Structure 1
Amino acid sequence: MEEADSRPPLLVLVGPTAVGKTALSLQLAKALGAEIISGDSMQVYRGMDIGTAKLPLEEREGIPHHLIDICEPSETFSAADFQARCTDAIRDIHSRGKLPMIVGGTGLYVEAVCYGYQFQDYGSDETFRKRMSDYAREFGAEALHARLAAVDPETAGRLHPNDERRVIRALEVYETTGKPLSELQSQSRGDAKRSPYKLCLIGLTMDRDRLYERINERVDLMLEQGLVDEVKGLMDKGVPLSSAALQALGYKEIVPYLTGELDYDSAVALLKRDTRHFAKRQLSWFRHMRELEWVDLDSLPKNSDLFKEICGIIAGKFPFDIEYICS
C-alpha cells in the first residue's frame, strides 16, 4: 500500500509577464482560502510599484500578500534571501491553516523554494568588480556583456547587457570559481532531490503575438500611471544606478531618458522590446521546470472554463472538493 504524502501543500502559479496571473490568483485565493506570496524579485522593494505591476493594497480584496515591500531599493536581495523569507512565510501560512500560493515570474526564485536549492557562497573579489565596472564605463555595456558571453553564454543569454550589476556578478563568479554561474546553478538544481512540499505547479501561456500585444498595452498603462516619475523619484533619493532596483526591467530603460541619453519615444520602444524579450526568457526557464502543468489561455477564453480547468488540476494534487471550490 502506497504511503500517504504528509508533505505540506504548496500551490505555485507562474507564467510570463502580462499573461494574467494576478487576477487569477485572487480568484483562486478566495476559493481555496489561500494567501499569496509574491514570486517577483523586484516587488520586494519599496517605492517600486508601477514598474513592477505591484497590486495596490486596496485591490487585493482582503487577501494577504507576502514578500512585498520588505526592503529598500538601495539594498540587495538575492535568490537565497528570497528562499529563506519565503520558506518562513510558507511555514507561517500553514500554521494558520491556510494554503500558501506563490505567484510570480522569477523562475530561479520560485524553483529555489520549490526544490530547496542549496546556495553556495561563490566568494567575492571587490578589485575584480571595480575593474569590470571601469571596463563597462570605458567600453560600454555591450562589451562587458560580450565578455560574459565568451565564458558563460547561458547566463549571458538571460541577462540584458544593461544589467551591469548581474553581468559583473556572473563574471566575478567565473573569476573566483573557474566555473560558469549557469553550471553552478545547474548543479544546485541537480542536487535538489524530492521537494519538501507537495507541489501543484501551474504555468499560464498564450499565443505569443497576443502576449506581446498585452505587454505593449501594459507598458503604455505604466507610463500613464507615472512610471517616469517613479524612476525619477528613486534617482532623486540617491538610489545608485548600479543597484538592483534601477537595473530592473522597467527602470533601466527609463534612466537613459532621464539622463538625456535617449529621447522619450526611444526609451518607450526599448522598454517594450526588453519586456518582450524578458517574457521569452521567462517561458524558456519555465519550460524546464519539473512537474509544471501548462494551461493554454487561448484554448479557454471564458474565465469560468479557465477557472474550472485550474481547479481540476489543483483537485488532482490536493484534497479539495472541485465542485465546492468551483461553485
Structure 2
Amino acid sequence: MLAEHDESTEIKAEALQDRKQPLLVLIGPTAVGKTALSLNLAKTWNAEIISGDSMQVYKGMDIGTAKIKEEDREGIPHHLIDICELDEAYSAADFQAGASDTIQSIAAKGKLPFIVGGTGLYVESLCYNYQFADQGSDELFRSEMETFAIEHGVEALHQKLANIDPPAAERLHPNDQRRVIRALEVYHMTGQTFTEQQAGQKKESPYNLCIIGLTMDRADLYRRIEERIDLMLEEGLVAEVERVLQHNLPSNSVPMQALGYKEIADYLRGECSYEAAVERLKRDTRRFAKRQLSWFRHMKDIHWFDTGQNFNNNLTEIHGIIAGKFQDHLEYTSNQSF
C-alpha cells in the first residue's frame, strides 16, 4: 500500500508540474558560449530570450557587457536589454518583477520564455520566486561603508563581508561595492546574513523549469576570457568607457563598479597604465567566472554540459532534455529536426 501511495503522490506531483508555465533557462560563466547556444535553442524551440545579466540593462554599456548586437540576434526578440539609463538603480527585485511580467507576455504569444544569463542572484531569484524582504535602509551606515571603501579600498570592504558571511563574499566581487554594502547593511539591521536569508527561502519554483548549465575546462575558459577581452579592446572598449565617464556618475554607481569599466576608468584617470588596467581586467574577469560557477554549483536541477570539443554530441542531448521536459507543450517547437 505504501508503494502505491508513493507512486500516486509522484504522479500527482508530475501533473502539477506540467500545469506550470514552462521556462527554459541557460546559465554559465562569462565567455563559455551561452550566446551562440541560446540562438540555436531559441530558433528550435520558438523561444524569446530574456537577458539574465545585471549589466546589460544599461544603455551605452555594450562592448564591456558583451551585449549581443541587433544584427546578430537572427530575428529573435531579446528582452530586458537597454532598459535603464546609466544613473538608474536596478536590483534583483526589479529584475524578478520585470522578468516575471515578460515571461507572461511571451507565453501569451504562444512562445517559450527563455532566460539566458550569468548573474546568479537574478536568475535564481526568478526561478524560485525569492521573497525580497523589505528591511529598509540605514543611510548613515551606507555612508560609513562608502567612506571606508574610499579610505581603505574595496578589498578591505569586501573582507568585512568575508568575516561575517564567507559564502556571500565568495559570490560577490569586491568591485560590486553596492551589493557588498547591501549585504553588510542587511546583517547590520537584522543580525542575519545574506546567506542565512537565502537558506530560508522556499526553493519551490512557480515554473516548470528546464535549466541547462554550461561549463568548460578551466584553462580553456580562461583563454577564451582573455581572447574576449582583447576583442573588446579592439572593438572600442576604452572609447565606450570614456563615454560613460562623461556622465559624471558617482564612483560607487553600478556602471562605475562594473567589470571592465572600473579598470579602464582607472587607466583613463591616470591611476594606472593601460597594460596594468588590461591585466587587472583579465584577472578580475577570471575571478568573476570562478564566482559565477560557484554560485551556480549551489543551485539545483541543473543539467550540466561541457562546451569542449565534442559539444555537438551534447547539443543533441540538450535538445532531448528540453523535449522530454516540455513534452506536453510541444506547440512551442518550430523545428524539432535536431
TM range (shorter): over 0.9
2:273 is matched with which residue? 263
2:117 is matched with which residue? 104
Classify 1:162/1:111 alpha carbon distance in 2 versus 1 (closer, same or farther; 3 Å): closer
Q: CA RMSD in A?
A: 1.7
Whether 2:311 is the aligned partner of 1:310: answer no
Classify 1:323/1:121 alpha carbon distance in 2 versus 1 (closer, same or farther; 3 Å): closer
In structure 1, C-alpha distance between the alignment counterparts of 2:29 and 2:118, rounded to whole Å: 6
CA shift, 1:90, in A, is: 0.3
287-296 vs 156-165, greater mean Cα deviation: 156-165
Which amino acid in the other structure matches residue 102 of structure 2? A
1:243 is matched with which residue? 253
Contact 1:215 1:275 in 2 (8 A): yes
CA shift, 1:299, in A, is: 5.7
Contact 1:200 1:317 in 2 (8 A): yes
Deviations 1:42-98 (A, max 9, x none): 111111100110001111111000000111121111111100000000000000000
Please give the residue correspondences for 1:137-156 in structure 2 after superposition, counting only pairs within 5 Å: 137-156=150-169
1:254 is matched with which residue? 264
In structure 2, C-alpha distance between the alignment counterparts of 1:148 and 1:203, rounded to whole Å: 28
Classify 1:33/1:124 alpha carbon distance in 2 versus 1 (closer, same or farther; 3 Å): same
Deviations 1:221-242 (A, max 9, x none): 0111111111111111122221
Normalising by structure 2, we get a TM-score of: 0.91
Contact 2:26 2:38 in 1 (8 A): yes
In structure 2, C-alpha distance between the alignment counterparts of 1:142 and 1:91, rounded to whole Å: 41
Q: How many correspondences in the alignment? A: 322
Contact 1:35 1:101 in 2 (8 A): yes
1:205 is matched with which residue? 215
Deviations 1:246-272 (A, max 9, x none): 111111211211111111011101111
Please give the residue correspondences for 1:19-98 in structure 2 after superposition, counting only pairs within 5 Å: 19-98=32-111
CA shift, 1:121, in A, is: 1.2
Contact 2:45 2:335 in 1 (8 A): no
Deviations 1:167-215 (A, max 9, x none): 2222211111112222212222xx233x111111100111111111000
264-273 vs 131-140, greater mean Cα deviation: 131-140
Normalising by structure 1, we get a TM-score of: 0.94
In structure 2, C-alpha distance between the alignment counterparts of 1:223 and 1:246, rounded to whole Å: 18
Which amino acid in the other structure matches residue 192 of structure 1? K
Identity %: 62
Contact 1:308 1:326 in 2 (8 A): no
Contact 1:44 1:70 in 2 (8 A): yes
Whether 2:224 is the aligned partner of 1:224: answer no
1:113 is matched with which residue? 126
Contact 2:31 2:228 in 1 (8 A): yes
CA shift, 1:134, in A, is: 1.6
In structure 1, C-alpha distance between the alignment counterparts of 2:335 and 2:152, rounded to whole Å: 61
SS at match of 1:49: coil
In structure 2, C-alpha distance between the alignment counterparts of 1:118 and 1:310, rounded to whole Å: 31
Contact 1:118 1:192 in 2 (8 A): no
1:161 is matched with which residue? 174
Gaps of 5+ in 1: none
In structure 2, C-alpha distance between the alignment counterparts of 1:8 and 1:139, rounded to whole Å: 48
In structure 1, C-alpha distance between the alignment counterparts of 2:94 and 2:251, rounded to whole Å: 22
SS at match of 1:97: coil
Stretches of 4+ moved more than 3 A in 1? Answer: 320-324
Which amino acid in the other structure matches residue 50 of structure 1? I
Which amino acid in the other structure matches residue 239 of structure 1? L
Gaps of 5+ in 2: 1-7
211-220 vs 288-297, greater mean Cα deviation: 288-297
CA shift, 1:300, in A, is: 2.1
In structure 1, C-alpha distance between the alignment counterparts of 2:184 and 2:71, rounded to whole Å: 42
